[in-house]
Structure 1
Amino acid sequence: MLAAPVDQVPEGPGLIHEPKWDGWRAIAFRDSDGVYLQSRAGRNLTTYFPDITRAIRSAIPAGAVLDGELIVWERGRTNFAQLQRRITAGRGLLRLARDCPAHYVLFDVLADAGGEVVLDLPLFERRARLERLLADAPPTLTLTPQTTDMRQVSDWLIHWTVATGIEGVVTKRLAGRYEPGRRGWSKFRTRVFTEAIVGGVTGSLRNPDTALLGRFDRRGKLRYTGRTHPLTVEQRADLAAALSPLRPLQRRGGTVVHPWPQPLPAAWSGQLDRPEPLRYVQVEPTAVVEIDADVAFEHQRWRHRVRFSRTRPDMSIYDVPLVLGEEKGYYGEA
């Protein structure tokens, strides 16, 4: 079952709210032979999470089918990059699982012990069954919090997003059945308005299609931090007026042209299925823009594309916050 995006958290009788975790959605099938973990896209994740499959085998009876989110904690916060490392760890997978263990945060049950299908039961009954299944489970199998109290929801959105890395709130109907493939839940993503420096664009200087963004790290190096959604006609004109062509700096031993490679490496996108390297127009990194971003990031980059709001000619590039995770109080520690 899926969730449709909304612009605000729904309120009303018969609704329940849960944190939206920043991880990989996965269905766990516990049969008599073992455990099978399946991603939302249908990919087999079983071999990448031996710690989770071991916990499910030890605590969950055969026949049960669970729905939840795979996450990895690091210094008290979810770390999406550590999930991706599971795919590429190779022979180091067991060591990685020991050093950075995963958690399976559970929020639904599709089949109970013995294989009893419970899709048609209301959510509050499925939740009660899930609680019983997890009664003696190890801490790596975690029941997600739920609340009907909007004050608790506000606390999650104001404090948990920064402190623990949740992405927002998912809202469900207490009496709702589980409908695979249907967007019967609602999801509200926490978003922040902040600033970034434009280091390049796709399209052209006069007609930019998207902006490639950066921020300085503590050593003064401009680091790539993400890309915007395609710009509107008005946004293209606004940004184009602020862009300057790159002015290479002549230095002894060669020419320094730009802090980022050309083309932009595919790995910088942060996606599991990596696209091709991205060719772009390098610009003088002097333009500051205001953006609307969610709280999901890894490798000090926004994982999802951000929304361009406007240029900020009143701001210096040195007024922009440091790269993600290095700015005090902003997605990380000082």
Structure 2
Amino acid sequence: MLAAPVDAVPKGPNLVHEPKWDGWRVIAFRETDRVYLQSRAGRNLTTYFPDITRTIRACIPAGVVLDGELIVWERGQTNFAQLQRRITAGRALVRLAREHPAHLVVFDLLADVGGQVIIDLPLAQRRARLRRLLAGAPAQLTLTPQTTDLAQVSEWLLHWTAAGIEGVVSKRTAGRYEPGRRGWSKFRTRIVTDAIIGGVTGTIACPESLLLGRFDRRGRLRYTGRTHPLTTDQAAKLAAVLSPPRLARHGVQAHPWPQPLPASWSGQFDRPEPLAYAQVEPAVVVEINADVAFEHQRWRHRVRYARPRPDMSIYDVPLLLGEGEDPSGTPGI
């Protein structure tokens, strides 16, 4: 079951709210002789998480099917990069699992002991069974918090984002579990900040999306992320203020980023192809709306373009800070 994005946390009776964790969604099948972990996209993740499969096999009866989020908890916050490392660890996987153990934060029960499918039961009943099932389970297998109190929701959104809470998922207590349907609601914590346009997909005359950057402490413009597709009106207005990179010595265009952008710069789980783009003179500042998934000095998800900032110099944009520091940053001097 999926969640539809909303612009505000829903209010009303018969609603419960849960933290939206920054990890990988997974369905865990406790079969008679094994455990099978399936990603949201249907990918088999079992071999990458021997620590989780061992824990489920030890304390969950056969037939049970769990829905939850895989996370790696490190120094008081989730570490998404450690999840990604599991896929490429190879022979180092056992050591990686020992040094950076994963956790499965469980939020739904699809089949109970003996394989009894319960997706047609109301969420409140599924939750009650899940609570009993996980009573006494080790910390690696934990029940996600749930509340009806909007004050608690505000606490999560204000103070838990640094720990790896991306937002809130809201569900109806009487709702059944409907695979593939967006019957839940998700509100992402977002920040309003600024960035510099370093390139565009499409053409300068007709940009399709923006490639954004920020200066690091050494004065280098570093790639930090990409916007969602622009509207026709947004594209037309930006085209009027964008220009190709200035010529350096010997008539060669000077630009700090490679062409095309390396596939590894996207930060996605399934690596895409290198991205061809049009380089622009990094002179235009824009306001963006981004979520809190910021790591390796880039926004992992696409950001929303809001408006140009002709009143701002590129040196007014927050500096790109070190790993783990606030991505809203401190304006450059």
Q: CA deviation at 1:168?
A: 0.9
Structure 2 equivalent of residue 169 of structure 1? 168
Instruction: Name 1:35's counterpart in structure 2.
Output: 35
User: Aligned to 1:130, what secondary structure does the other structure show?
Assistant: helix
Q: Is the 8 A contact 1:52 1:104 kept in 2?
A: yes
1:324–1:331 contact (8 Å) kept in structure 2: no
Offset of residue 79 of structure 1:
2.1
* Structure 1: gaps (5+ residues): none
Report whether the alignment pairs 1:282 with 2:279.
yes
Change (3 A) 1:72 1:29: same
SS at match of 1:225: strand
SS in 2 for 1:244: coil
Work out the CA distance in 1 between the residues paired with 2:81 and 2:255.
26
Shift of residue 185 of structure 1? 1.0
* Shift in Å, 1:249: 3.5
Q: Is the 8 A contact 2:108 2:130 kept in 1?
A: yes
- After TM superposition, the score normalised by the length of structure 1 is 0.93
Report the Cα distance in structure 2 between the residues aligned to 1:324 and 1:279, rounded to whole angstroms. Answer: 27
Query: For 1:14-93, what aligned pairs fall within 5 Å after superposition?
Result: 14-93=14-93
Q: Distance in 2 between matches of 1:310 and 1:237?
A: 12
**TM-score (structure 2 length as normaliser):** 0.93
| 1:293 paired residue among 290, 293, 300 | 290
Q: In structure 1, what is the Cα distance between the partners aligned to 2:165 and 2:302?
A: 17
Matched position secondary structure for 2:117: coil
Matches within 5 A, 1:43-192: 43-161=43-161, 163-192=162-191
The percentage of counterpart residues that share the same residue type is 76
CA contact (8 A) 1:21 1:168 kept: yes
Instruction: Report if aligned partners of 2:287, 2:309 keep a CA contact under 8 Å in 1.
Output: yes
Paired amino acid for 2:242: L
Q: Which amino acid aligns with 2:256?
A: P
SS at structure 2 position matched to 1:167? strand
Report the AA paired with residue 303 of structure 2: V
Q: Distance in 1 between matches of 2:75 and 2:329?
A: 10
- In 1, the alpha carbon distance for the partners of 2:321 and 2:65 equals 37
Does the Cα contact within 8 Å between 1:242 and 1:311 map onto a contact in 2?
Answer: no
In the alignment, the residues of structure 2 paired with residue 331 and residue 99 of structure 1 have an alpha-carbon distance, to the nearest angstrom, of 31
The alpha carbon displacement at 1:59 in A equals 1.4
Count of aligned pairs? 330
Query: 1:258 and 2:285 equivalent?
Result: no
Which consecutive aligned stretches of 4+ in structure 1 deviate over 3 angstroms post-superposition?
Answer: 248-251, 324-333
- Per-residue CA deviation, residues 82-141 of structure 1 (Å, 9 max, x unaligned), is 211111111111111122211110001111122222212211121111111111211111
Determine the structure 2 residue equivalent to 1:224. 223
Structure 2, gaps ≥5 residues long: none
The equivalent residue for 1:213 is 212
